[in-house]
Chain A
Amino acid sequence: MDIGLKGKKALVTGASRGIGRGIARVLAQEGAELILVARDEARLEEAKKNLPGAGNHSALALDLMKPDHLQKLVGFMETRGSPEILVHNLGGSLGVTDPFASAEEWSKVWHFNLGIGHEINRKIVPLMASKKWGRIIHVSTLATQTHEGNPAYIAAKCALNGYVKCLAREVARHNIVVAAVSPGIIRIEGRYFANLEKEKPEEFSAYLKNHLPMMRLGEVGEVANVVAFLCSEKASFMTGSNVSVDGGGR
């Protein structure tokens, strides 16, 4: 079934591993031509090499926290054909776990989770608007509902959720759909829950039983599929949505 992504150009940030890599895989399977961005060049190249239609994709090893790298990406997109789809997948606490860390520390976290996406959007939206078609998907988190985790990170993602709603309103008249996806606990190799499953299976089972109605972790592909749906023609009337992919958990 053609979901309308064939030949569409799509940016995926944080594309070398985890959810970003999964999103890249599903979009590539659906025929999109990707611009993949991540810091680790070797891992990014390896991710690209394993995608369907690898020759159609570009991989840029950039640290988007650095202004000149961000500028390089925007320049690339402006000169090499701007994407119709932006998938903003950067997220994390950058090690800022102290609730009373300085405002400067917090602003770094804010910039990583929202500011970079905004910088890209403000350059690319006018180009999308001229084509009268666009999709902007931000990866948020279930933690904006549970409020369990690092405060700076959660506050940044809550701001992101508000941003998505506001941006959706602002750009809807150009037929640009803006949406968020909020993953719950997803199995990502090397992360806490994937390790817990291997190292402490009883504790892991107890956690699932107590916290997740579906009694299992989500898979990367299950988040990626939802992102692909929101990028597709099938979600053409769903602007402003924030779709949770959490197995019913809180």
Chain B
Amino acid sequence: MKNGIGPLFDVSDRVVVITGGGGYLGQAICETLAGQGARVYSLRRSVSVSRNSPSIAGLTHLPCDVRQPKDFAKTLEKILKKEKKIDTLINNANDTQRERWEELNLKKWRDGFRGSLDHYFSCAQVALPYLVKSGSGVIVNVASIFGFLAPDQRVYPRDIRGPTAHHAAAKAGIIQLTRYLAVKFASCNLRVNSISPGWFPKPGSRERPAYLRRIAEKIPLQRIGRAPEIGGPVLFLVSRASEYMTGQNLVVDGGYSTW
């Protein structure tokens, strides 16, 4: 494969654990990877929501509070028992409230910051022995363009809250944690990359069409992103097509950050 021989995005031998796999982008990532033959374990807090998720071959929903390292470790053991290996972790869960700057206090800041960042560290730490043992481990950390770009406050109407300060700071932390882990564990053939989506609002969310049109006008490709357009780049980072890439942040924003 190193010389381009074999299917470019083959992930049929991968066992993937993804946190927050039931969300809008998480679901798209799960569907893309499972659709290409990976065995995907989607972890989320609420079992009832998981039950409502569509049934897809190769995709298993498991209840797990990924903020609790012990709960996450137990879940990995269950997966290992069935699969005999775990070689891919996708950190995607996000537990943060959108608060106005004026509403923030130190507690809200800490809660929000930790809700976005802490479990990226703890899940990576718990999963590392499994990933290293696999001999070709991959971590993909889902970050955001607001990890390196300040949100343009002028685009948000009064009733829509843009990314909060702690969210932006945590996403920057995710990008740097990615680089740190990439270098720290490169000698174990563990690749760690992040992906930074731009504007991917959930269809039918309360965000209004006029507001979304205004956003789209600011994006060179003149539209907001579609969920499968995150699935493709994550598939690329999991697959051998990216096997000499580590410590990188893949930006998927329709060109927004080139302005």
Contacts and interface: CB of A to CB of B under 8 A. Distances in A.
B189 A228 contact: no
A228 B241 CA distance: 9
A115 interface: no
A214 to B, nearest CB: 5
A168 B258 contact: yes
Interface centre among A219, A235, A238 (most CB of B within 10 A): A238
B3 A248 contact: no
Interface in A222-241: 222-226, 228-229, 232-241
Interface in B210-241: 219-222, 225-226, 229, 232-233, 235-236, 240-241
Contacts of A232: 232
Given A169-B258, A215-B187, A22 B4 contact: yes
A92 interface: no
A247 interface: yes
A237 B252 contact: yes
Interface in A8-44: 22, 25-26, 29-30
Given A235-B232, A241-B251, A173 B222 contact: yes
Contact of B255 (A184, A228, A239): A239
A243 interface: yes
A226 B240 CA distance: 10
A232 to B, nearest CB: 8
A1 B38 CA distance: 13
A173 B2 contact: no
A223 to B, nearest CB: 7
A245 interface: yes
A169 B233 contact: no
A165 interface: yes
A168 B236 CA distance: 21
Instruction: Give the interface residue-count category, chain A.
Output: 35 or more
B255 A168 contact: yes
A203 to B, nearest CB: 19
B9 A234 contact: yes
A247 B248 CA distance: 9
B254 A237 contact: yes
A172 B257 CA distance: 13
Contact of B241 (A166, A218, A225, A246): A225
Given A169-B259, A234-B233, A213 B2 contact: no
A26 to B, nearest CB: 4
Contacts of A222: 2, 243-244
A32 to B, nearest CB: 12
Nearest to B190: A214
Interface string A147-162: 0000000000000000
Given A173-B220, A234-B232, A214 B186 contact: yes
B1 interface: yes
A86 interface: no
A1 to B, nearest CB: 6
A175 interface: yes
Contacts of B226: 237
B182 interface: yes
Interface of A: 1, 3, 22, 25-26, 29-30, 165-166, 168-169, 172-173, 175, 177, 184, 212-215, 218-226, 228-229, 232-241, 243-248
Given A213-B247, A226-B242, A236-B229, 5 more contacts: A29-B8, A241-B250, A245-B242, A246-B245, A248-B186
19 contacts: A166-B258, A212-B186, A213-B187, A214-B186, A214-B244, A215-B187, A220-B4, A223-B244, A225-B4, A226-B241, A232-B232, A236-B229, A237-B226, A237-B252, A237-B254, A239-B255, A241-B250, A243-B248, A248-B183
